[in-house]
């Protein structure tokens, strides 16, 4: 029986900016349906790694494969077409538009249909039906006509994940999904992520270790652009080097690492 194609392989990726080495020979691979967190303090290279994977930046050396295909030199929109979606640490939404129109714009871009400035978005029946179905599925129907800027920050984070999932991705990158959220909002967004379909492989950056360990099976820890630890949550939790560098030898794991 043939082995399943890995959703993501990062092979020896380095990225330098002038004299600054942001990533140094980083390698990781993910199995289908896996949930993995990338942890590390500010400057560890987490966002730089996401930019390499998503195509927003190109590595200085190394290669990146999505679903078995080398995408190292491929543009971001072409990677999205292969089944990659991502969110950002700072929400990227249309704040003055209602939630429904944000979703309609995202779906219309994915649908590939011809756009007309003179035609209202609501006239695209197939896209409208899909949008309304997603709002119902995500229990956001009552917010459909609310401007995104009037939603709570926690709701905006949920909307960004919704827009990413609207692409029906096979690999989802989540960049700090609970950053800036209250404990109640963190619990809500964490529950949403936990309930995402298992056929979607998830790689997330998270500053709160307790949240990360609750959502994933495996963890990769970056420090100064290098992987210093990798393994299951228990293996990383008990790693002396991780404890010493990030939490201090006597610190407990309830302390969050700053992003």
Q: 174 and 78 share a domain?
A: yes
Whether residue 216 is contained in a domain is answered as: yes
CA dihedral 38, 204, 208, 220 (to 10 degrees): -20
Q: 116 in helix, strand or coil?
A: coil
Mean pLDDT of 219-229: 94
pLDDT in tens, 146-173: 999 999 888 898 899 998 888 889 999 9
Q: 147 and 196 share a domain?
A: no
User: Which residues constitute the domain of residue 226?
Assistant: 1-83+169-259
- pLDDT of 115 above 60: no
Whether residue 124 is contained in a domain is answered as: yes
We report the CATH number of the domain holding residue 27 as 3.40.50.300
Whether residue 13 is contained in a domain is answered as: yes
pLDDT in tens, 170-197: 999 999 998 888 999 899 899 999 999 9
* Separation CA 122–CA 29 (nearest Å): 42
Report which of residues 92 and 220 the model is more confident about: 220
Q: 172 in helix, strand or coil?
A: strand
The predicted structure's pLDDT at residue 113: 53
Domain edge (last residue) among 131, 152, 168:
168
Split at pLDDT 50, 70, 90, the class of 222 is very high
In terms of DSSP H, where are the helices of the chain? 46-54, 76-82, 99-111, 125-137, 153-165, 183-194, 209-215, 233-237, 240-242
Whether residue 26 is contained in a domain is answered as: yes
């Amino acid at each position: 029986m043939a082995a399943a194609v890995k959703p993501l392989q990062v092979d020896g990726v380095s990225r330098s900016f002038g004299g600054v080495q942001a990533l140094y020979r980083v390698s990781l691979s993910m199995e289908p349906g896996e949930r993995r967190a990338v942890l590390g303090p500010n400057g560890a290279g987490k966002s730089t790694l996401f930019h390499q994977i998503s195509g927003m930046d190109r590595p200085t050396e190394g290669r990146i494969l999505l679903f078995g295909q080398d995408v190292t030199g491929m543009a971001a929109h072409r990677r999205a077409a292969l089944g990659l979606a991502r969110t950002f640490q700072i929400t990227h939404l249309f704040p003055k538009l209602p939630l429904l129109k944000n979703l309609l714009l995202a779906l219309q871009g994915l649908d590939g249909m011809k756009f007309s400035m003179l035609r209202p978005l609501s006239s695209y029946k197939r896209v409208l039906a899909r949008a309304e179905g997603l709002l119902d599925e995500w229990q956001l129907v009552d917010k459909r006509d609310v401007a995104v800027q009037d939603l709570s920050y926690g709701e905006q984070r949920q909307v960004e994940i919704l827009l990413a999932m609207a692409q029906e991705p096979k690999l989802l990158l989540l960049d700090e999904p609970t950053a800036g959220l209250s404990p109640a909002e963190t619990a809500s967004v964490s529950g949403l992520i936990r309930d995402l379909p298992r056929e979607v492989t998830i790689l997330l950056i998270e500053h709160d270790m307790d949240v990360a360990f609750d959502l994933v099976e495996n963890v990769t820890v970056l420090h100064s652009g290098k992987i210093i630890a990798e393994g299951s949550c228990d293996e990383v939790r008990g790693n002396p080097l991780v404890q010493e560098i990030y939490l201090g030898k006597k610190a407990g794991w309830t302390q969050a690492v700053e992003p």
